[in-house]
Amino acid sequence: MSTAGYPLPLPQEDAVTAPWWAATRDRRLVVQHCTSCGTSQHYPRPICTTCHGHDLGFAAATGRATVHSVTVVHRAPHPDLATPYVIALVDLQEGPRLLTRLVWANADPAAAWPAWPDPATLIDRPVDLDWWPLPDGRALPVFRPV
Amino acid sequence: MTSLRDVAIVGVAESDLGVTDSSILQLQTQGITRALADAGLSLADVDGLATNGVSRFSATQVAEYLGVRPRWTDSTFAGGASSEIFLGHAVPAIAQGLADVVVISYGSNQRSAASRSLAGVVEGHVPDAQFDAPYGPLQPISAYALAAARHQHVHGSTSAQLAEIAVAARAWALLNPIAYRHDDGPLTVEQVLASPVLSSPLRRLDCCLVTDGGGAVVVTSLDRARDLPQLPIRVLGHAEATTHQSIAQMPDLLVTGAADTGRRALGMAGVGLADVDVVQVYDSFTITVLLTLESLGFCAPGEGGSFVEGGRIAPGGALPLNTSGGGLSYGHPGMFGIFLLIEAVRQLRDQAGARQVTGAEVALCHGTGGILSTHATTVLGVDR
């Protein structure tokens, strides 16, 4: 996998989100899990937004997800981002919804989306986890059509 | 103590609009002094001030700048719903005697200052900065585009139907001499569809303008309003709702907080949608209007696309909507909520010139802030 340049500001983790980011160094996607009510949530917080419990841990996600919606960005906010690219909302099998990118086939995660297929045809379709490396060893979870 | 129903809007005005080369505080000053002049009042009468978007201490800053020492302030930051929320907060404050004359104001020089970025404003310490911004979404365009794409997938609505909303807005702007696009001629669905895609399915002409501008609304008790020069416009109903911050956390991409606020505000007003003569809804993007109309109940969920076809929301249509030309064609200095109120008041006062909706007595305004995050519905009516 390429470690092509990443031009945007690096995400600043905090004490609550540090374990989530640490897992990305091992290319593991985890979701926060409430031991009181069993709900999974993303992003990590110090409280369960379902039952308001404080006993939360992290559990491995399967990496299987379903596309909820997509948008193809043609005008990037940074000149070093290759366009067009696909921003998506995906629903993890565990429940939480993530904002992410869709990446085509075996393409570099930083590469432009190809002329075909139209990503809108992927809504409600399954996708699998992959990773877009950050320069500091962490990585952003991205998803590829199954 | 007066009741909530006994509060009225007595003055409205815009600052200079378009490309002004003015500072935010200059625009604030223009809007406030012009609205007070419209009301037959002066800064000496003002004891309440609600504004934001100036600085961290927005109301404090504007008060000092104008030499006012208010006994009531509000700087709630709810994006494009802010002005409707300010009004909703000012009404009980006046009714309970916490303030007598409240000015709600806004000003932005975002066009002259080129202060708008495609990536939006990302504050490094909030969750968006860790979990959304790293992927490079355009904010807020991509968030609204995700809702639009989902609507098209689920309901089969089309980009041509979205374009109808921009076409109608332009037709209204052609009737409004101060609209930014007043002299630009009519817009066609084909022209909208031919404009470049920014974040699919939203094209450039699905997006509001980026201009300077500002305005103010003056509110006081109905008793006092009846001694002032303008026809008092009563605040009949108000409701607000906050549902999420990031688009990934929105409970349902296709149902906004308007479904909640519309019902509550109309209930407080004691009127139904059929009683509403003129509608002003935030049109940050064409999809914002479509989702808001559905959520308010003007049409069934999923039917917003066909609802806006055939000129229904254009001049002469059955539902006069965004009669100033809206953020799409009148102007958009960032947080449009103040302009929804200004235009509604002009319509209810019968001062809207060529775009006047004949006999308008009840107006509904709906402000939307953030990325479909904050909502406020305001129902206004003439004092009878």
DSSP annotation string for A75-134: S-SSTTS-SSEEEEEEEETTS-EEEEEE--TT--TTSPPPSSS-GGGGTT-EEEEEEEE-
Q: Closest Cα of chain B to A86: distance in Å?
A: 9
pLDDT digits (tens, 9 = 90+) for A76-85: 999 999 999 9
Count the Cβ atoms, other than its own, within 10 Å of residue B178: 15
> Does B130 contact A11 at a Cβ distance shorter than 8 Å?
yes
The Cα–Cα gap between B378 and B237 comes to 6
| pLDDT reading at B306 higher than 80 | yes
| Residues of B with active-site annotation | 282, 330
Would strands B362-369 and B374-382 be described as parallel, antiparallel, or unpaired? Answer: antiparallel
Closest chain B residue by Cα to residue A21: B130
Percent over 90 (pLDDT), chain B: 95
Nearest beta carbon to residue B130 from set A12, A101, A123: A12
Q: SS3 helix, strand, coil % of chain B, rounded to 5?
A: 40, 20, 40
pLDDT digits (tens, 9 = 90+) for A126-138: 999 999 999 999 9
| pLDDT reading at A1 higher than 50 | no
**Disruptive mutation site among A78, A99, A132 for chain B (greatest number of B CBs within 10 Å):** A99
| pLDDT reading at B307 higher than 80 | yes
| pLDDT reading at B3 higher than 80 | no
Q: Which residues of A touch B148 (CB under 8 A)?
A: 71
pLDDT digits (tens, 9 = 90+) for B148-198: 999 999 999 999 999 999 999 999 999 999 999 999 999 999 999 999 999
Long-range contacts of B356-363 (CB under 8 A, 24+ apart): B357/B277, B357/B278, B357/B320, B357/B323, B359/B277, B360/B277, B360/B278, B360/B320, B361/B277, B362/B236, B362/B269, B362/B271, B362/B275, B362/B276, B362/B277, B362/B278, B363/B276, B363/B277, B363/B278, B363/B279, B363/B280
**Disruptive mutation site among B118, B130, B135, B151 for chain A (greatest number of A CBs within 10 Å):** B135
Quick one: which of B247, B238, B160 has its CA closest to B201? B160
**For all residues of chain B together, what is the average pLDDT?**
97
Question: Which of the four pLDDT bands, split at 50, 70 and 90, describes residue B2?
Answer: low
**For all residues of chain A together, what is the average pLDDT?**
95
Angle at B356 between CA B350 and CA B357, to 5 degrees: 95
Nearest beta carbon to residue B117 from set A9, A77, A140: A77
Would strands B7-14 and B101-108 be described as parallel, antiparallel, or unpaired? Answer: unpaired
Contacts of A86 (CB under 8 A, 6+ apart): A70, A71, A72, A73, A101, A102, A103, A113, A119
Count the Cβ atoms, other than its own, within 10 Å of residue A65: 26
Percent over 90 (pLDDT), chain A: 93
pLDDT digits (tens, 9 = 90+) for B199-254: 999 999 999 999 999 999 999 999 999 999 999 999 999 999 999 999 999 999 99
For chain A, positions 68-87, list CB contacts with chain B under 8 A: 68-78, 81, 85, 87
> Does B134 contact A85 at a Cβ distance shorter than 8 Å?
no
Q: SS3 helix, strand, coil % of chain A, rounded to 5?
A: 10, 35, 55
pLDDT for A4: 53
Nearest beta carbon to residue A99 from set B118, B247, B253: B247
Percent over 70 (pLDDT), chain B: 99
Alpha helices in B99-207 (DSSP H): 127-131, 141-155, 159-173, 189-194
Q: Is the peptide bond before B134 cis (omega within 30 degrees of 0)?
A: no
Tokens of A131: 């990773």
The Cα–Cα gap between B102 and B94 comes to 8
Quick one: which of B325, B318, B368 has its CA closest to B343? B325
Work out the average pLDDT over B70-81: 98
The Cα–Cα gap between B329 and B132 comes to 30
pLDDT digits (tens, 9 = 90+) for B78-122: 999 999 999 999 999 999 999 999 999 999 999 999 888 888 888
DSSP string, B109-123: -TTTTT---TT----
Closest chain A residue by Cα to residue B203: A74
Write down the pTM of the prediction.
Answer: 0.97
Question: Which of the four pLDDT bands, split at 50, 70 and 90, describes residue A3?
Answer: very low
Q: Is the peptide bond before A133 cis (omega within 30 degrees of 0)?
A: no
Q: 3-class SS at B124?
A: coil
pLDDT digits (tens, 9 = 90+) for A4-21: 579 999 999 999 999 999
Q: Which residues of B touch A78 (CB under 8 A)?
A: 119, 136
Q: Starting from the edge strand earliest in sequence, which strands make up the sheet with A30-34, in order? A: A40-41, A30-34, A56-60
